[in-house]
Amino acid sequence: MATVTKLLQSLLLLTVCACSASDVIGDDSVPFQSLFNGEDLSGWDGDPRFWTVRDGAIVGETTKDNAAEKNTFLIYRGGEFSDFELKFEYQVTGYNSGVQYRSRELGKWNVGGYQADFEARWHPSDNGPVDKFSGMFFDEQGRMFLGQRGDAVIVRSNEADPKKPIIEKVATVGDPAELESQIRRDDWNEYRIIANGFQFTHIINDRVMAVGFDEDRQNRKASGILAFQLHSGPPMQIKLRRLRIRELQE
């Protein structure tokens, strides 16, 4: 109970401070290590039909003639991570993507686990969705939607149905539409993910988008792999650069 009280105090601090990323302190004593050399996919593993490197960025792309039959992932092969701060820059056009962390392989180029979502913004006149999901707290191929953009949530076990956890929204980190307006659609965005114990903070362009506390002991994961998603469905492209991580010290 004391742990939850401490976490709620952290949430209150985030809310009062208008949820700037400067209020979320990483471990500055530990340097970042690069996850991408800017030249090729050394250290990464994905379906070569979809992934390449161009102009110093990782590019994942599907087209009408080269579609993904199901969600496919580019997996980092340099090891697993537990408590960390991850930073990268991204651009996305066409559809939906995300970064997997503390995740697990479920087959060839198939990954499930915690996801920090990012997606393109479609104009309503295109009969497509506006960006509802960038920044949200998600469990790919698991418990699914845990916390929407703007939410701070506690996720608890549901013994009656382990795949449908009890989710309590305990605070807000901002208005979802206002947070979405901070995402640059024609330029690079910086994503920052902090996993510290079972507290997870998703930040885009220095704005906290979602905070999750995972108290679901049946399903939560203490460590796992990193990966990036290309979603099945409409043609899409993501670009990634400046991928770097630092592990947090106790």
Structure confidence by residue, pLDDT tens digits, 7-46: 554 555 454 444 455 545 555 678 999 999 999 999 999 9
Split into its structural domains, the chain has a count of: 1
pLDDT of residue 18: 47
Structure confidence by residue, pLDDT tens digits, 117-161: 999 976 555 555 578 899 999 999 999 999 999 999 999 999 899
pLDDT of residue 57: 98
**pTM for this predicted structure:** 0.88
Across the chain, what does the average pLDDT equal? Answer: 89
Amino acid identity, residue 169?
A: K
Residue 95 buriedness (CB in 10 A; 0-12 / 13-18 / 19+): buried
Give Cα separations from 214 to 118, 192, 220, 225 (angstroms).
21, 19, 6, 18
pLDDT of residue 250: 65
Amino acid identity, residue 164?
A: K
Separation CA 241–CA 224 (nearest Å): 21
Mean pLDDT, to the nearest integer, of 82-86?
Answer: 97
Domain, as residue range, for 194: 2-247
Residue 188 has pLDDT above 90, yes or no: yes
Domain of 89: which CATH number?
2.60.120.560
